[in-house]
Structure 1
Amino acid sequence: MKSVTLLERIQTLFGSMHNPSSRQLLTAIKQLDARLEDVTPFLKEPGNKPYGRQMFYQNDHIEILVMQWSTYLDCAPHDHGQSYGWVQIIAGSSDHWIYEISPASLPLERLNRKEKSGSYLNVGKGMIHKMGSRGEEPLITLHVYTPPISGMKVYDLNKCAVCIVSEDCGAWWPEEQKQQLKTVRLKGPWENEP
């Protein structure tokens, strides 16, 4: 008997979704039940970035990516444009920071918690967060977003700046100018209003 591949399971569960709710996405990602052996063929080494990412499913309504995380670099605080979705921790563990926007539009850390293998993290519309690998086992995550991400904002808290990045850039400050679609300087908490 032929086993059903991960991509076939994804097509069955996500292929007919149009504007799914967060709950529908969570139900589908849990039913997908992706395991390390399912995503291993899609993994990309992170190199000098916080993670290596591989999009392996996308239509007009959904995108699904797998990420292999660096053991020494966290991603930058970021949102997901107008998208929302879920992150499944397939292997390893992660520190997960959630931010809120200060009156000066600078993200301030609100919550930091450790997430373990088997966890599902909600990524709400407009939510700003960052992640990083923690522990001995490599961090591998599966990400499901709707609609496909565009207009993602990445924050550099040291520079007090935010940048809207191109779709080929991850959650890090872009090294190439063409990946910076728009950059805005924010006020630091030490700067007084005039």
Structure 2
Amino acid sequence: MTNTTAPDTVAMNTGAPAAGAAATTLTETVMDLAADRDAWLPRVRLDPSDRWYERLHRDGDREIWLISWLPGQGTGLHDHGGSRGAFAVALGVLQERDLGAVRDVRPGEARAFGPEYLHEVRNVSSAPAISVHAYSPPLTSMNRYELVHGRPVRLATEDAGQW
């Protein structure tokens, strides 16, 4: 995965930090930023080898990421190491699969999730997609899973320094 880490604070309207940012606050943050194309469009890069991502903001309470997805790129099944989160699609269409459903997420739509949530996000369309993600507390690890007989089996744990 191609990574660009921006300074810890970027001059963007990321909203006021909230103590233990609630899912609604995270959702509002990603929706507002996804709708503000001038804030993210000049930063976007497309990488044919893997998803491109850049951290836009980080403080003690939360972090915000911008991710581009070319057709066929995806995350694999993962959790967020105990962090709550939300993501909004700014451009294109992404498909989210959790343990119970598969859904398309379109521009102007967001998904929020709690600290124990497992999902996979993919671009199954024929066009690039851009999304904005927020996590609280900031990510320290992510666990990767494989479904075996319909049950998640942890394959690996990645620490924050690995992405």
Fold similarity call, TM over 0.5: yes
Offset from partner CA, 1:68-104 (integer Å, 9 cap, x none): 01312322100001101210100000111002xxxxx
* Deviation, structure 1 residue 31: 4.2
1:129 is aligned to 119
Structure 2 CA distance, aligned partners of 1:73 and 1:90? Answer: 16
* Distance change in 2, residues 1:29/1:131 (3 Å): closer
Structure 1 CA distance, aligned partners of 2:65 and 2:126? Answer: 23
1:45 is aligned to 46
Structure 2 CA distance, aligned partners of 1:33 and 1:154? Answer: 26
1:18 is aligned to 19
* 2:29 maps to 1:35: no
Offset from partner CA, 1:118-174 (integer Å, 9 cap, x none): 11011221100011113243110000110001121012448x55211021445xxxx
AA in 1 matched with 2:66? V
Give identity over the alignment, percent.
Answer: 18
Structure 2 CA distance, aligned partners of 1:135 and 1:71? Answer: 6
AA in 2 matched with 1:39? W
* Deviation, structure 1 residue 65: 0.3
Q: Secondary structure of 1:26's partner?
A: helix
Q: Structure 1 length as normaliser, TM-score?
A: 0.68
Q: Secondary structure of 1:134's partner?
A: coil
* Deviation, structure 1 residue 27: 3.2
Spell out the pairing of 1:3-14 with structure 2 (5 A cutoff): 7-10=11-14, 13-14=15-16
Of residues 159, 163, 167, the one that matches 2:160 is 167
**Tell me, which stretches of 5 or more residues in structure 1 are unaligned?**
1-5, 100-109, 171-194
AA in 2 matched with 1:163? A
Structure 2 CA distance, aligned partners of 1:138 and 1:35? Answer: 18
2:77 is aligned to 77
Which structure would you say has the larger RCO, counting Cα contacts within 8 Å and 6 or more residues apart? 2
Spell out the pairing of 1:57-136 with structure 2 (5 A cutoff): 57-99=57-99, 110-136=100-126
Q: Secondary structure of 2:11's partner?
A: helix
Offset from partner CA, 1:48-71 (integer Å, 9 cap, x none): 22x111001101111000000131
Counting matched residue pairs gives 150
Q: Secondary structure of 1:72's partner?
A: coil
2:138 is aligned to 148
Please provide the CA RMSD for this pair. Answer: 2.2
